[in-house]
Amino acid sequence: MSIYNIVASTDESTVVSEYFADYRVRSKKYQSEAELENEFINLLSSQGYEYLKINNETELIQNLRKQLEKLNDFTFTDNEWKRFFSESLANPNEGIIEKTRKIQDDHIQILKRDDGTTKNIYLIDKKNIHNNSLQVINQYEESGGTHKTRYDVTILVNGFPIVHVELKRRGVAIREAFNQINRYQRDSFWASSGLFEYIHIFVISNGTHTKYYSNTTRNAHIKEQRAAERKKSKKTSNSFEFTSFWADANNKIIPDLIDFTKTFFAKHTLLNILTKYCVFTTENLLLVMRPYQIAATERILSRIAIATNYKKMGTISAGGYIWHTTGSGKTLTSFKTAQLASSLSYIDKVLFIVDRKDLDYQTMKEYDRFEKGAANGNTSTKILQKQLEDPNVRIIITTIQKLDRFISKNKEHPIYKKNVVLIFDECHRSQFGEMHNKIIKSFKKYYIFGFTGTPIFPVNASSSSKNPLKKTTEQVFGDKLHTYTIVDAINDGNVLPFRIDFINTIKEKDNINDTKVRSIDIERALLAPERIKEVTTYILDHFDQKTKRNSFYSLKGQRIAGFNSIFAVDSIPMAMKYYTEFKRQLKERNRDLIVATIFSFSPNEDDPEDIFPDEEFETDKLDSSAREFLESVISDYNKIFNTNFDTSADKFQNYYKDLSQRVKNREVDLLIVVNMFLTGFDATTLNTLWVDKNLKYHGLIQAFSRTNRILNSVKTYGNIVCFRDLKQATDDAIALFGDKNAGGVVLLKTFNDYYNGYDENGKYYPGYTELIARLQKDYPLGKAIIGEEAQKEFIKLFGSILRIRNILTAFDDFEGKEILNERDFQDYQSVYIDLYQVFRKDERANKENINDDIEFEIELIKQIEVNIDYILMLVAKYYESNCTDKNILVSIDKAVNSSIELRSKKELIDKFINTINLTTNIDDDWRKFILNQKEIDLENIIKEERLKPDETRKFIEGSFRDGILKTTGTSIDKILPPISRFGNNNRLAKKQFVIEKLISFFDKYFGLV
């Protein structure tokens, strides 16, 4: 009988409250990867995991049967097991998505028994989690994939491979383990019976650093690998940046593998994460919650349980607030909290309450993304009443205004006597008034909780509050239950830091002592036409630079140039003036930028710069000139997007929703707002906030945080450009919501730091000048880079230059200080791409020189590469010189070689230059040439491979339309010629060969037709 060294077992918390590592027991000796693996397995065994020596699929399947029989207290006949395994567990038509859904949503499968009856078979027990068995295997061999592979350590839950751990020895970059798992995804996880597609969570460690992430990263199945590479430049959780550290409830990370194993791999913790704290969304993404999200959720659930036991319902003791910074995944946390609270037997309803219609819409969309129908939104008080009275409706999203109207119309109602959990989305000061008082006076057995990224403390509390006992978040909602600040989020890589420019556009007169006269004078100056013109000119002059309009990346399969921006202004009159001036200057410059604006009536507030006043959709309260102007703005919008909105109640709300979506899709370049969109609006494509508005504390952080959502490696910070002196206000806000030393984390460093280098925490970081000097000295142009080690060092060095250059380009000071001229930079970039293609080719061939530590900054390459329009402009110049200026041909060649996208089109470009006679228009000639050449190439592929012509053309047309060549499913099979199915290997080889040809064809013409 095994004796397990279990320190403690509790049902109360998944995330340990506070963890202290004991390094005294650690060995100081060198530790090999094998020794690290053995230490890890021994520690798991001491925590109650059963170690198995399983090295092949036959043994894995036998164990799976045994564990499911144990869990279900049932014995399969051989026929029943064969049928259940092949149909329900290892169906060849099912992949990662279906298998993830089986564990998360469909964990009770139906077995057809030999006698004709049926039986429910549990794959995992979600109610009694310790009924599930945890086992550990290592060095499992998979020979059925593209290449033979051997995995490090795998955790089996009821026999299913659910958690996979990839280890590297101490001192080796953790990213190597991440890259190795990516290869397994491509080469073998799908192989044989595909049981490793049940993996939910990956853990990567080099002993010193350990991180985890979900199987959402596994969207690069071998058959879709190259197509996926074209799509995945949008940074979702398939990027290393979305791996997470585990931490204690104080947000102290637990990086060492020993400590990680004692906490994350504690049986109770791991099983809780798998059964409670994963969310499988309607977009088929598996989200594994981060420790601070789990801790916050459990603090709320604990408070509900304690309040129930001690009969504290209906008091502030039955509540509290969660301080999680903007952008840290508050919606997911609140969703899971609402979901788990609604499942408690003694809770009748969970109300998720927001205080603005636009937030209501956004939150509904977010909740709907997690689970269809999980939230029952309502559009009227009557529907709200119906939902409150329906026992089957467990979670309701509503606005505080609708709830207030319901209470006003229903002084007595049975719901008031029921146990109701009230979750406030953004518990700021606008909820401290009479509506809030009505709610807590009406509901007798409430539990009240608030989420906020920017709490109200005494220092930023309103001096005009009528009730001195309800000025702060704590006074209104109760104890602070959990904290995750902007500093925590930036340190964890969950949000981006800010880079701020202060552009002073107004000088105050020092000799004016009267404060009132001074403010009037300043207000006039701020609205002066000369200043409006000057600010607009600055924005248009710097728009491409700040929003990186010469940078390219993929968004939902589309090639996108740069990011978009919001312009926050002080008032509706100012918004009107700016919109008019932008339209005038854009027409004058003959420039095509899409500028939109939105505003509505909002009552005056004593302190509008801190908490933004609520803007309703009540346009009828606007004065006539403002409403007429808004009509003309929406008319402009309708012409651009072929829509039909106006300022009437319903259509204006739909205008907001449509505008919101188009900003997210980066279809709108610049959105001018007064208060709308500055809180509760998330668009990953936004990278710049222009500010001509006084902001402080809550309002400042909320507005700035519109820009700091992670998207890709091109977007490394949120760009803030202030046309007012907000320096002190920024420092004060960061100190309040971070700490007094938070500025060094929240704000980017100076131009001089990045250009010349800097020291931080005892470590020196070389600047741009030093990196370029090293590049020119160690790798002079024209000299071949010999040897793999030298090539790898060049890749690392040039990658560092790309990253730091990406930051520097947003500084005005960088212009003229690039050191390398454009042509030399292109040459270095060409060498970088050459090496990328060589190493990726070797990797696909599984050659021995594969190194997982090679990381190419291809997103940063793509964002500075030229496009076909630039090449055609050079071709036109070449013909204007009567084909005599050979230097232009050199420029074309260098530009094409330095571009990932254009390299596959090099043959076309060269042929076009050598065969055309420029007669009319270069663009027309190019289009005719491409269409003709595309038809010739496609016809050749169809003939050579004997493909079905009509089906092939339809397949190709759909691929160009969708922006991706789908190589899975039955689409490819439909275009193949008849091949004997008895020669299955021949058929697979033929199919793969056709796929290779079609991918090459697609790469060659995509973006040109």
CA distance 631 to 652: 10
Ramachandran region, residue 530 (left: φ > 0; alpha: ψ -120 to 50; beta: rest): alpha
Hey, do 291-484 and 498-748 end up sharing a CATH topology, with the first three levels equal?
yes
DSSP state of 461: S
850 pLDDT tier (thresholds 50, 70, 90) = very low
Beta pairing, strands 134-142 & 149-157? antiparallel
Least confident among 212-216, 264-268, 808-812, 860-864: 860-864
| Whether the Cβ atoms of residue 207 and residue 170 lie closer than 8 Å to each other | yes
Give the pLDDT score at 906: 76
Q: What is the mean pLDDT of the chain?
A: 81
1 pLDDT tier (thresholds 50, 70, 90) = very low
**pLDDT higher than 70, residue 466:** no
Give the pLDDT score at 6: 41
Give the pLDDT score at 576: 95
154 pLDDT tier (thresholds 50, 70, 90) = very high
List Cβ neighbours of 140 (8 Å cut-off, separation of 6 or more): 54, 55, 56, 60, 150, 151, 154
- C-alpha dihedral, 612 to 613 to 615 to 621, nearest 10°: -150
Q: Where are the domains of the chain?
A: 34-276, 291-484, 498-748, 754-861, 865-918, 921-1009
Query: In the CATH scheme, what is the code of domain 34-276?
Result: 3.90.1570.50
What is the token pair recorded at 631?
Answer: 């009509």
- Report the pLDDT averaged over residues 143-161: 87
Give the pLDDT score at 228: 34
| Whether the Cβ atoms of residue 941 and residue 947 lie closer than 8 Å to each other | yes
H-helix or E-strand spanning residue 178:
helix 175-187
The answer as to CATH 3.40.50.720 being correct for domain 291-484 is no
Beta pairing, strands 134-142 & 552-555? unpaired
| Whether the Cβ atoms of residue 312 and residue 276 lie closer than 8 Å to each other | no
The maximal CA–CA distance of the chain, rounded, in angstroms, is 99
**pLDDT higher than 70, residue 646:** yes
| Selected residue with higher pLDDT from 128 and 860 | 128
Nearest residue to 242 (alpha-carbon basis) of 167, 178, 196: 178
**pLDDT higher than 50, residue 227:** no
Other residues' Cβ atoms within 10 Å of the Cβ of residue 93: 6
β-partners of residue 137 are 154
| Selected residue with higher pLDDT from 712 and 320 | 320
Residue keyed to tokens 């000639």: 925
**pLDDT higher than 90, residue 76:** yes
CA distance 38 to 51: 11
Other residues' Cβ atoms within 10 Å of the Cβ of residue 380: 11
Type of residue numbered 202: F
DSSP state of 622: S
| Whether the Cβ atoms of residue 314 and residue 357 lie closer than 8 Å to each other | no
CA distance 886 to 896: 16
Nearest residue to 580 (alpha-carbon basis) of 524, 642, 625, 638: 625
Q: CA 189, 254, 131 angle in degrees (round to 5)?
A: 60
Predicted structure pTM score: 0.75
Report the b/e string of 448-479 with b at 16+ CB within 10 A. Answer: bbbbbbbbbeeebbbeebeeeebbbbbbbbbe
| Whether the Cβ atoms of residue 681 and residue 362 lie closer than 8 Å to each other | yes
CA distance 46 to 4: 5
470 pLDDT tier (thresholds 50, 70, 90) = low
DSSP state of 885: -
**pLDDT higher than 60, residue 853:** no
Per-residue pLDDT tens digits for 187-210? 788 888 889 999 999 999 999 899
219 pLDDT tier (thresholds 50, 70, 90) = very low
What is the token pair recorded at 947?
Answer: 């493909």
CA distance 967 to 226: 9
What is the token pair recorded at 695?
Answer: 């902001």
Beta pairing, strands 118-122 & 134-142? unpaired
| Selected residue with higher pLDDT from 332 and 851 | 332
Nearest residue to 542 (alpha-carbon basis) of 534, 532, 531: 534
β-partners of residue 280 are 286
Q: At what angle do helices 886-897 and 868-880 cross, to 10 degrees?
A: 170
CA distance 665 to 683: 8
> Hey, what long-range contacts does 583-588 have (CB within 8 A, 24 or more apart)?
583/636, 585/533, 585/536, 585/537, 585/540, 586/540
Helix residue spans in 672-714 (DSSP H): 697-704
Pick the CATH number of 754-861 from 3.40.50.300, 3.90.45.10, 1.25.40.10, 1.20.58.2040: 1.20.58.2040
β-partners of residue 377 are 397
Gap between the terminal Cα atoms of the chain = 69
Q: CA 989, 993, 998 angle in degrees (round to 5)?
A: 145
Least confident among 38-47, 75-84, 657-666, 869-878: 869-878
Give the pLDDT score at 421: 96
CA distance 45 to 6: 10
| Selected residue with higher pLDDT from 520 and 875 | 875
DSSP string, 771-832: HHHHHHHHS-TTS---SHHHHHHHHHHHHHHHHHHHHHTTSGGGTT---S-HHHHHHHHHHH
Give the pLDDT score at 900: 63
Q: At what angle do helices 886-897 and 822-844 cross, to 10 degrees?
A: 40
β-partners of residue 202 are 164, 213
Sign (positive or negative) of CA dihedral 817, 823, 828, 829: positive
Residue keyed to tokens 């994939």: 145
973 pLDDT tier (thresholds 50, 70, 90) = confident
Helix residue spans in 643-787 (DSSP H): 649-664, 697-704, 727-737, 743-746, 751-756, 768-778
CA distance 528 to 510: 20
| Selected residue with higher pLDDT from 44 and 733 | 44
Per-residue pLDDT tens digits for 907-931? 777 878 777 665 557 777 777 887 8
122 pLDDT tier (thresholds 50, 70, 90) = very high
Give the pLDDT score at 615: 60
Type of residue numbered 757: G
| Selected residue with higher pLDDT from 160 and 823 | 160
Query: How many CA atoms does the CB half-sphere of 842 hold within 13 Å?
Result: 14
**pLDDT higher than 90, residue 741:** no
What is the token pair recorded at 264?
Answer: 């994350």
Nearest residue to 804 (alpha-carbon basis) of 760, 763, 766: 766
Give the pLDDT score at 25: 55
Helix residue spans in 553-685 (DSSP H): 572-589, 624-641, 649-664
CA distance 427 to 651: 29
Nearest residue to 493 (alpha-carbon basis) of 245, 821, 822: 245
- Report the pLDDT averaged over residues 677-688: 87
DSSP state of 450: E
Ramachandran region, residue 746 (left: φ > 0; alpha: ψ -120 to 50; beta: rest): alpha
Q: At what angle do helices 768-778 and 788-808 cross, to 10 degrees?
A: 150
Per-residue pLDDT tens digits for 229-286? 333 333 333 467 678 999 999 999 999 999 999 999 999 999 999 999 998 888 788 9
**pLDDT higher than 60, residue 517:** no
Pick the CATH number of 498-748 from 3.20.20.80, 3.40.50.300, 3.40.640.10, 3.50.50.60: 3.40.50.300
What is the token pair recorded at 425?
Answer: 């989305």
β-partners of residue 424 are 353, 450
| Selected residue with higher pLDDT from 764 and 506 | 764
Least confident among 111-120, 645-654, 868-877, 941-950: 868-877
**pLDDT higher than 70, residue 143:** yes
Per-residue pLDDT tens digits for 368-420? 666 666 555 666 788 889 989 988 888 888 888 888 889 999 999 999 999 99
β-partners of residue 819 are none
Which strands, in side-by-side order, build the sheet including 480-484? 376-377, 395-399, 349-354, 419-424, 445-452, 319-324, 480-484
Nearest residue to 465 (alpha-carbon basis) of 440, 431, 427, 442: 431
- C-alpha dihedral, 805 to 806 to 811 to 812, nearest 10°: 80
| Whether the Cβ atoms of residue 297 and residue 334 lie closer than 8 Å to each other | no
